[in-house]
Structure formats: C-alpha cells, structure tokens
Chains A and B, each alone.
Chain A
Amino acid sequence: MPTTASLTTNDAPLPSSGWRELWLKEDWWAIWIGLGLVFVAILLFSSGGSLRWLAVAPQKWSHGSEVVTQLREHALQYLALFALFAASFGAGGAALGIPLRRFLPAFAAIFVVSTGLYFLGLWDQAAHYNLEPPLVALGLGLLLANTVGVPRWVGAGLRVEFYIKIGIVLLGAGLPLTLISWAGPVAIVQAGVVSLATFGTIYFVAIRLGLDRRLAATLGTGGAVCGVSGAIAIGGAVGAKREQVSIAISLVVAWAIIMIFVLPLAARSLGLSTGVAGAWIGTSEFADAAGLAAAQTYGAYAGTVAGIAGHADDAVNAFTLMKVIGRDMWIGVWAFVLSVIATTRWERTGIEGRADAGEIWRRFPKFVLGFLLASALVTLLASGHVYGDYKKLIVPTVVAPLQALRTWAFTFAFLSIGLTTRVREFVAVGARPFYAFAAGVLINVVLGFILSTQVFAGFWQSLGH
C-alpha cells in the first residue's frame, strides 16, 4: 500500500538545528565515518600497518568452488568488515533516529546480498552476460520491491544517500587535491552551462504550459542541479505545495532510473572513453546515487569491452568531479536566489518567506567537505613521497583499502535504490509537468554530450594521466 500519511497538527517540540546538525544530519555522519576510516588508514600506515586486512573484497573467479574457497579463507575478515560497517553505520543511524535493533538485522541482510552482488561482478563471465553489479543490484531491487515486496524489517537499513555520501567521502581519498583543483574549474564551467540551460528550459516550458512558478522552479532544479535533493531543497526555499514536490520527486526518480540504463548503453555504443563517459553521466544524470551506478557500470567496461579506453576509476572520478563539484555544491546558491525571487516577485501565498544569504550554508551539502578533506589528507600524506613510492607504498596500503570500502558502500546504495523505488508510490504527474521535464532532459543529455565529447573531450580523456 502506498504511504498516505496525512498532515495533522503537531504538538511535539521541534528540535532546533545549528550545532545539533553535527549529529542530526546524515551529511555530517558521512564525514565522521568516512574521514574516520581515512584517519585510521593513515595512522595504521604511519605505524607500519594497513587497513588492508579489514578491507576485504572478492577476487576474480571462474568456478563456484572458488567463491566458496574465498569465503572460507577470508571468513574472519568478512565478519570483521561486517562488524565495522554495522557499528559505524549503526551509530550514525541511531543518532539520526533509526533504532539499532531495527537497523542491524536490516543491514545484515543488505550486507549478505551485497556480498553476493560483489562476487557476481568479479565472475570472469560477468561482462559477457552484462552482469554489471550496479545494474544487477538495481534490477534485483526494483523487481523485488515492485512484485513480492520488501519485508518491512529490511526498510530500516535502506539508506541510499547515507551509503552514497560515505562512499563519496572515501572516494576523495583516491583523488589528489591537485587533480580536484585542476579539473574542478572545468567541471564547474561545464556543469554550470548545462545546469542553467536545463533549468531555463524546464522553467520556461513549464510556464508556457501554464504551470505554477513554484512547481516550475522545483522541477527545474530537480532536473538541473541535484535530482530529488534539488527538488526538495528548492521546494522548501520557495514554499511549493506538497503535491508539487511529490510531482518533482516522481519525475526525477523515474527519469534517473531510466538514465542509469540508457547512458552507459549509449556511451558504450559510441565507444566513449571512461573519463568522457563519466563526465557526460555527471552532467546528464539527476542524482548522485543513480549517476554513480551508471558511472561505475561504465568504468567496468574498461579492459573488458573492446574499444572502451581509459581506466575503470576514470568514469567514477569524472562523474564525481562533475556532479559533486560542478552541480551539488551550488544548491544553496540556487535556493537563495530562487527564494529571493519567490518572496519578491511571485504571487503571494499567504505565507511570509524569509530569504537570506544564510540559506547558502544551511543547504550546502556538507558531505562535500568530507570529500575534499579526505583528498587533502591523502595528498598531504603523499606529498612526503616521490611518485614511485606513492604507487608502491601508499596506494596498496592506504588508497586501495579505502577504495574497497568505497565499493562496498556504493553496492549497499545501489541495492537500496531498487529496494526503495516503488512505482505505485509515484504520484500522477500529469502531462504538462512531464513535457516540461522531458524538454529539460533532452537539452541536458544533448548539451552534456556535446560538452563532454567535443568541447572538453581532451580534458576528460586525460583525467587519469
């Protein structure tokens, strides 16, 4: 049954935000957990150890018996890894209000299924049968959620954004700060052009079709900036109706899931390099989790699909630079500007809005700070070593284990996307919002493709070098 919670009056006291955000928002918990792991990895390295033992990950296999052997030989490591994730995610979840007794069994189920998906992706025939783990995780989740249903007790562990933000913070450890400062401005320019064009298209088509300005703005930022997060941020900033926010959420989720499958397929048929495809996905996907699923899928084609040049990580790295640095970071600015316009120029709603520059910080996706700090910490560690030593000493003992933990976090997220997406929960969006959003999708995809494959192609191709 779809959730049909009603709005009633509320006499419970509202906790104030401010410093409490540090333990009441998942962005900050993503920083505490992600950066905590980076610190532990660096401390272990400094004392001659490594996080490698704990960051266990499946290896390539050909026959089922090899999977059993791997699991038997590394059983203790898998248990320790589960304990690490369960303790840290559970602590974060408890602080956010998800009781540990509900989170732990749910997370245990997610961990077991994710382990199976991780192994599946390392089968030497996986590429032959197109069994890319993100797509299998998503497909499996969608199938279960929309047919037999997901047991209620699993719901407590399905935290897509929590896992994806932790994964992005960990990803920062693999991206040198010098690379971010080199590629960041290009990502900002490219994403800025596409975001403005996409928002403008959706907004003006929506207005031409007679839709309310607040709905037009909510749809526009959902398509142009950061998907569902963009839609709810702007919905709140401009005071949209609940139904309008729901329409934007439904449209963004539906299109984002379609694009997870379409963008890698299109890039593959065009033989794009992993860096270029990652940049295109980063420009044209709507949500971080959906885009990372598409980018990781495409990255896996490197070395397995003929004609796909580049390194597997280039797709995820280019995507992250484009999406996180080029688009997500600016949501507070969009919210501030649109709240000023809404309060000064749009029709009155009987509600007095408050537009102030503090909006930029209040809505800033704080996990981005964790991503940048993780990058800075590992860059600082590497700065005392020549490149050869970095590759020989730091990569296998610090960077690679953190990358393995990141892959786990992303796998939990990809599985959770499918399991939390219920088609019957989509609201009836109507033809006009659909046309407006579809027009934006068209501009977004075409312009993103031109900028990634023509204007900045050389730049994204050389990202890994």
Chain B
Amino acid sequence: MAAAGPPATPRCADCRHFRSTATEIEAMLPGVRSLSSAYAAIRADDGLCGLHDRYLSARSRCAGYSPRATP
C-alpha cells in the first residue's frame, strides 16, 4: 500500500485572506453590478485574495494560507 503523502495545503475558501461574499466582491470590483452581478452562478465560489491581490477560485491553494479564526 502506498504511503500517504503530506497533507495538502487547505484551499483558499478556508483562508482568512480570501474574501468572497457578493457584497465584498461588488464593493471591491466597482462596475460589476452594472452589467453582471456578484450573485451570479458563473462566479461559482471565486473570491479576492488579500495576500496576492488576485481574483481566484476558492479551490486554489498557496503557501501563504492562514486559517480563519474560529468564531
């Protein structure tokens, strides 16, 4: 049986740098609501990464992952 590899870095969806609510997206990408919407299905669960200043899929991963504080 193959040995299990090191655990993968958790995905951006669970990272404290990742902002993905529709309200946040519409505030941070001005103009998006004039001919589209942050509530649209095509956006899937993308969000903005504060660490890299990139718009990313929530399934992305990076070495800068930092977990959200437990509420």
Contacts and interface: CB of A to CB of B under 8 A. Distances in A.
Contact of A363 (B20, B21, B30, B44): B44
Contacts of B59: 353-354
Contacts, number: 205
Interface centre among A236, A331, A351, A353 (most CB of B within 10 A): A236
B27 A12 contact: no
A205 to B, nearest CB: 23
- Contact-residue size bin, chain B (C-beta under 8 Å from the other chain): 35 or more
Interface string A236-258: 11011111011001101100100
A2 B14 CA distance: 29
B17 A158 contact: no
A417 B35 CA distance: 7
A406 interface: no
A361 to B, nearest CB: 9
B5 to A, nearest CB: 14
B66 to A, nearest CB: 7
A456 to B, nearest CB: 26
Nearest to B37: A161
Interface string A352-368: 11100001001111110
Given A5-B28, A9-B66, A353 B42 contact: no
Interface in A1-60: 2-3, 5, 7-14, 16-17, 21, 24-28
A389 interface: no
Contacts of B60: 239, 351-354
Contacts of B64: 350
A375 interface: no
A167 interface: no
Tell which of B46, B53, B55 has the most Cβ of chain A within 10 Å: B55
Nearest to B18: A10
Kindly name the residue among A249, A421, A425 whose own CB sees the greatest number of chain B CB atoms within 10 A: A249
A26 B40 contact: yes
Interface stretch (A81-89, A126-134, A224-232, A377-385): A224-232
A232 B32 contact: yes
Contacts of B61: 351-352, 354
Interface string A261-298: 00000000000000000000000001101100000000
Contacts of A243: 53
A232 B46 contact: yes
19 contacts: A8-B50, A10-B18, A25-B39, A158-B33, A160-B36, A161-B33, A226-B42, A228-B32, A232-B36, A242-B29, A242-B53, A245-B29, A287-B36, A290-B35, A351-B54, A353-B57, A363-B44, A365-B40, A425-B31
Interface of A: 2-3, 5, 7-14, 16-17, 21, 24-28, 96-97, 158-162, 226-230, 232-233, 235-237, 239-243, 245-246, 249-250, 252-253, 256, 286-287, 289-290, 331-332, 339, 349-354, 359, 362-367, 417, 420-422, 425-427
